[in-house]
Amino acid sequence: MIDAIMNSPYVKSLPFLWEGLQVTVAITLIGLFLGMILGALAGLGKLSKIKVIRGFWTVYIEIIRGTPIMAQALFIYFGLSELQLNSFTTGVIAIALNAGAYIGEIVRGAVYSIDSGQTEAGRSLGLTERQTMRYIVWPQAFKRMIPPLGNQFVISLKDTSVFSVIAVSDLIYQARQYYNATFEQFETLVMVCLFYLIITIPAALYLRRIERKMDV
């Protein structure tokens, strides 16, 4: 019985898929971390009263949101070949740029949704514009960002699947390599889907728990 399980095509694919999963998660987490920084800058930049700053971030967001992530990855990897970026770094940059644009809109929308009376109250207390943003507006806005940020994590995780076109050894790339050698496409792809679900479902449940605690 145990031998039959261990020799199952589902189980035999695990070591290969595990290697790919580690790469997928690493690209997602590093890319999202950078994307959140970029997104915060983009979102606040779009709210800037300075036209040049607002215009710059608006152009960035529209270009990234208007083009597919696969095209962005190919452009970075092949179009900017003089930079000699490896496939892993390219994937991280593509996720960061892509997520940054969407997170920028999340930040802008969350900050914009805070009632203007909150800002006026902060200013009436003698706080500067920056202090009002930091201590009054931003904490309230951040609570409203949690649900869409959770969605962005799931989207970015799944977006890494396109990076196999630039030979990133992610989950999809490893799966292709494995089933091309063993011809066990169905079993391998079932395990790929399970791996994605093992990450996305607990992440979604955890985020819902945070939402309830923070009364989002």
CATH code, domain carrying 110: 1.10.3720.10
- Give pLDDT, residue 39: 94
Distances (CA, A) of 125 to 118, 121, 137, 139, 191: 11, 6, 14, 17, 57
Looking at the domain assignment, is residue 11 inside a domain? no
Looking at the domain assignment, is residue 2 inside a domain? no
Residue whose C-alpha is closest to residue 43's, from 99, 112, 105: 105
d(CA 174, CA 195): 13
- Give pLDDT, residue 190: 93
Domain count, the chain: 1
Looking at the domain assignment, is residue 189 inside a domain? yes
**Within the chain, which residues score under 50 in pLDDT?**
none
140 close to 111: Cβ distance less than 8 angstroms: no
Q: How many CA atoms lie within 13 A of 49 on its CB side?
A: 1
Looking at the domain assignment, is residue 85 inside a domain? yes
Looking at the domain assignment, is residue 177 inside a domain? yes
d(CA 33, CA 99): 9
- Give pLDDT, residue 56: 96
Residue 148 CB contacts under 8 Å (≥ 6 apart), including other chains: 106
pTM (two decimals): 0.88
Looking at the domain assignment, is residue 75 inside a domain? yes
132 close to 119: Cβ distance less than 8 angstroms: yes
Residue 179: give the domain boundaries.
16-214
Looking at the domain assignment, is residue 7 inside a domain? no
72 close to 94: Cβ distance less than 8 angstroms: yes
Looking at the domain assignment, is residue 9 inside a domain? no
Using the structure block, give the residue that is written with the tokens 């196999």: 164
